[in-house]
Structure 1
Amino acid sequence: MAPIRRTAARRTTTALLAIGALSTALLAGCSAIDPNGKPQACLSLKDPAQKAVTDVSEALQGITTDPQAAADQVRTTKDDLQKAVDKVKNDEVKASSQKVVDALGDLETAIDDRVANPANLDTSALTDAGTSVQTTAKDLVDLCASSLN
């Protein structure tokens, strides 16, 4: 039994060493990534964009019960995403991500209008703004996906 355990231990050790070497190589390669390239720019937006999707979704779920809270959440989300976009170095990714921020601004305005005048709700403006957020976000996702090819 002892030889089998040693063989298994060697395989595990060899596998761990291989993983360590691969990780080192990958991390060394990361330093060579162009900081102005699309992949790096897209990567820098990954977490802020995911948070924005979650936050806007939550805001829109509560728009009928508390439109002011929804407006505040969209405004905060837009501002947070703008901070991330301001740090992007790649012009193409920055322009595309700025369109998402602008669309969030339009959604914010539509929700603010709902808050200011609930009796005269312009549902088409709200729908159009929501569609614009989806469209611009999809365009950004497509752009970033193309940078991986």
Structure 2
Amino acid sequence: MSEQQPERPGGRRRPSRQIYVHLPVADLASSIAFFTALGFDVAPDSTDADATALVVGEAAFVMLLTRPFFAGFTRKPVADPTVTEVTVAVSARTRREVDELVDRALELGAQPCREAQDRGFMYGRSFYDLDGHLWELIWSDPDAFAA
């Protein structure tokens, strides 16, 4: 089942799979405006009246789906926005970028989740987006993991 992928510099293999996290949203246009203001790109070929794809990384996407459209993917009820069902954790290039992104999210209407978590080699902050989904921005010191 494992498909051989070409090596990247440093001997690491290219990811053989992509990940798509689907999140229900109440107002797709507002969610798109919020996340593009944070610096996420939208994949225009994956956007229509019911959904859009936020490009998180080379092989990682968050699909923002209208609640009725999202409901078509499951037989269970769509979770109440006040319930945390998943945490979307995204890496940042620097500690400063963590702070900049979370501060910007809060300015755009997100709600704070908890105080910053500083473990020296890892730093993170979190927020609830416009629909109450929990997002974490995390920076890890690459030198700490190389040792």
Q: TM-score, normalised by structure 1?
A: 0.23
Bigger strand fraction: 2
Bigger helix fraction: 1
* Greater relative CO (CA pairs within 8 A, separation 6+): 1
